[in-house]
Structures are given as C-alpha cells and as structure tokens.
Amino acid sequence: MKARDFWVVVFLASAGLLPVVQGTGLAQTPSASLDVLHWWTSVGERRAADQLGALLLHAGVQWNDAAIPGGGGMAAVKVLKSRVLMGDPPDVAQLIGSTLTEWADVGLVVPLNAVSVRQRWPQVLFPIVLDLVSYKGNVIAAPLGIHRINTLLYHRGLFARFGLKPPRTWADFETAARKFSAAGIKPLAWSDEPWQIATVFESVLLGEVGPALYQELMVQRKSAAWLDPRVDKALQRLRWLRSFSGNVPSERAWTASARELMDSTAAMVIMGDWASGELMAWGASPNTDFACVAVPGTAHMHLYSVDTLAMLVNGRHHAALQEKMAESLVDMPVQLTYNRIKGSVPVRRDISAVSLNAMDGCARDSWETFADTGASHHPSLAHRMVADEAAKDAVAHALWRYLTDDLDAALTQKRLAVAIRAS
C-alpha cells in the first residue's frame, strides 16, 4: 500500500467508515435512495441521467442527484475526492481509472462480484469493458456506456449545399474547410479548454502514429517514444486543425461548439459522441441534420471512454440497494434506452439485430467497430482510461501551452515525455 493510501485508511478508520465492509449493508434496513455524484449536466447528459433515474425508480431504486457541472468531469472528480477525504463519500460515483483502483485497494468500493455472476457479466459484457471494471479478482464498478472519442461530427445540410463528401480523410477535410472558410462559415468548432484539446489530440495522434505507437505512448507510457517524428506530425496536425476554427479560439464549454453546429455557423466538430446526444436533445436528427465519421486516419479504430458507476462504502449501509442499482444499469432495456439518449453505446455484446438496426448511424458504427475483434481498440487518456488525474492533466497542460503560447513542437514532445510519467 502506498503512503498516501495508508493515510487515507487511517483517516477513514478514525472517521468510523472502514468497519463498513462490503456486504454488511445487507443486514441493515436500506433506505430507498442513493446519492449519485456525476457530471452529466448539459441538456443531453441531463436528459440521459433523468431517464436513467426514471428507469431505476421503476426497479425500486431512487436516484438522488448530486451532479457537479463541468465537462469532462474536471470539477466533479475534485469534489468527489474531497468528499471521500472528509469521510462523506456519496453512495455512487462516476469513477474510473487509477482513482477507482486505489480506492478499491483500501476497501472504499463495494465489490459487485455477486451481481456479475448473477447477471453473467463475463458472458454478456465486452471483454474490454469487463476488464476495465475488474481489479485483483473483484468487479469494482458497473459499466454504463461506451463513448467513441475519435468522432468527427459534421453538418449534413452544409456539406450537401456545397456538394462535399463526408470528411473521411484530411484531404477531404481540407477541401471542405477551404470552401466553408471562403463562404464565411467556420469549418471547425473549437475550444481551448485543456481537456478538449487533449480529446482532439489523442484522436489525431492515433491516426498519425497508428495503433502500435499509440499503445506505446499512452498505455505503456514509454517516455522516449514521445520523441518519435510521428508525434511531431500529430502536433503539427493539431495546430493546423485549430487554424480552421475562425477568430481567436477561446476556452469554452464543449456545448458551445455543438451549438455552432446546431446553428449552422460551424460545419464540423471533433468531440466524443456525447455531442451527438446533445444535438439530439436540442432536436437535431443524427440521420438528417448531422452525421459522424471516424476522425481521419482512424477508421476501424475505436478510441474509447467507458462510463462507469462505482458503489462506494460509507456509513449509510446501502450495499443491497447499490447492488440492485448496478444490476439495473446493465439490464438490456436500460442499456438500450439510456445509451440512445446519451450518444454512447451499450456495454453488452449480446444485443439483437433489431436493436442494432434501431441505432442511429453514429452509434451503430461505434458499436460495430467496438464489437469487431479485427478492429483496433484504444483507451482514452483524456477520459481517464489509462493514466491517473495527474498524468492526464499534465499532458493536457503541455498541449494547451503548445497551442496557446505557440510553443515549439520539439519542446512540446519533450514536455509530453515528462508529463506522461507525472504519476
């Protein structure tokens, strides 16, 4: 156990929290509601969370909302950590990555092994998903949906008006971008918020460096690999992309970029497919108003971020209810309904052809690529699938400096090499 974990344990023990080990809640009288800390606060995210709440209520679990606004969970994760350190963890939290495994190590997470057996998770979940929520022989979170990060959403009407084909290659992208610029339409909606830059960068990186080097950079976190000339190419591409975003880019919410697509003032946006959920919530149709392609260079690749809810140990003895919630989240009808609204896709591989056909184009391509064992699958750094908060933030900061201070690409490669090891 690391020193930091040790002090967490000491603190929690002194707060009277640790004796509440998994399973003891079953003997208590559960109250019917669970506090859920998450960051789904945009219109589309809210709609998906509300729908989830309604479905859970039907199953006898009341969702007590403890949402913390802020795209990408920047604020929510900080609030969650401080609530845990104060000895007041919520019952359920949108949590993944090394924070989750560290907390599981010190007994702060309710294992969901019984649910996993009952609901046959090894048989029905994608192996990558099961692996993400498994740690040292325990299942430590309930998976909810798979987002595809390497998504480029484009405005169908604008592309049709200018006789343009979907931007599947950078050459297609450039042709379209030049036409839109000439007509006074912003080619690419953009934000300089660090996590959004990191989100675009990792998709571009995957396309420029290819699956093998991406794994070395992000998963194996080989510092020296960051000095590869292909990383330089990806950085140049990032700067090039930003040059198509109109005036001086600013740090703004991701919903502002989606709004530009909705209002026909921008033609494209590179964003995880939660942007599709947002556009749908505003009344746009994924089949007629907008469509998705994989970010150029990443066809048949799935850069994923899996949303998961962890059940936390606290003094409220809710284990039975927490297990019930976990089971309901993975139920097929809940999976299909929630993910259709959220813009993500089910974590289950046993969905029927009928359900698959009912998916919109963005979702269907995402699910089929994820399900295809011949495709390549890559975890998102920007969305906590591989590194801890510190490494993720350090990478995002280095990229942000590169763009906003116009730093040299070679210097940025060195900074990234250091950042990736920040944890």
Decide if residue 187 touches ligand BGC (CB under 6 A): no
Taking CA atoms, 292 is separated from 150, 153, 200, 271, 381, in Å, by: 10, 4, 15, 10, 22
Binding mask 122-151 for ligand BGC (x = CB under 6 A): -------------------------x----
User: Phi-psi region for residue 335, left (φ > 0), alpha (ψ -120 to 50) or beta?
Assistant: alpha
State which residue, 253 or 336, has the beta carbon closest to ligand BGC.
253
Binding mask 61-90 for ligand BGC (x = CB under 6 A): ----------xxx-----------------
Half-sphere exposure of 301 (CA within 13 A, CB side): 26
User: Phi-psi region for residue 155, left (φ > 0), alpha (ψ -120 to 50) or beta?
Assistant: beta
State which residue, 26 or 336, has the beta carbon closest to ligand BGC.
336
Decide if residue 25 touches ligand BGC (CB under 6 A): no
Number of residues located near ligand BGC, criterion CB under 6 A: 11
Decide if residue 102 touches ligand BGC (CB under 6 A): no
Residue in 151, 305, 339, 412 binding ligand BGC, rule: CB under 6 A:
305
Nearest approach, Cβ of residue 406 and ligand BGC (Å): 28
Q: Classify the C-alpha dihedral 64-104-76-362 as positive or negative.
A: negative
State which residue, 25 or 272, has the beta carbon closest to ligand BGC.
272
Residue in 34, 36, 45, 200 binding ligand BGC, rule: CB under 6 A:
45
b/e sequence 228-238, b meaning 16+ C-beta within 10 Å: beebbbbbebb
Residue in 274, 338, 367, 370 binding ligand BGC, rule: CB under 6 A:
274
Residue in 36, 39, 107, 324 binding ligand BGC, rule: CB under 6 A:
39
Nearest approach, Cβ of residue 123 and ligand BGC (Å): 25
State which residue, 307 or 327, has the beta carbon closest to ligand BGC.
307
Token pair belonging to 155: 């405005």
State which residue, 25 or 72, has the beta carbon closest to ligand BGC.
72
Radius of gyration over alpha carbons of the chain, in Å? 21
Nearest approach, Cβ of residue 380 and ligand BGC (Å): 8
The tokens 């330089």 sit on which residue?
A: 232
Taking CA atoms, 114 is separated from 121, 133, 136, 319, 322, in Å, by: 10, 14, 15, 12, 12
State which residue, 305 or 413, has the beta carbon closest to ligand BGC.
305
Nearest approach, Cβ of residue 80 and ligand BGC (Å): 13
Residues lying near ligand BGC in the complex (CB under 6 A): 39, 45, 71-73, 147, 272, 274, 305, 307, 383
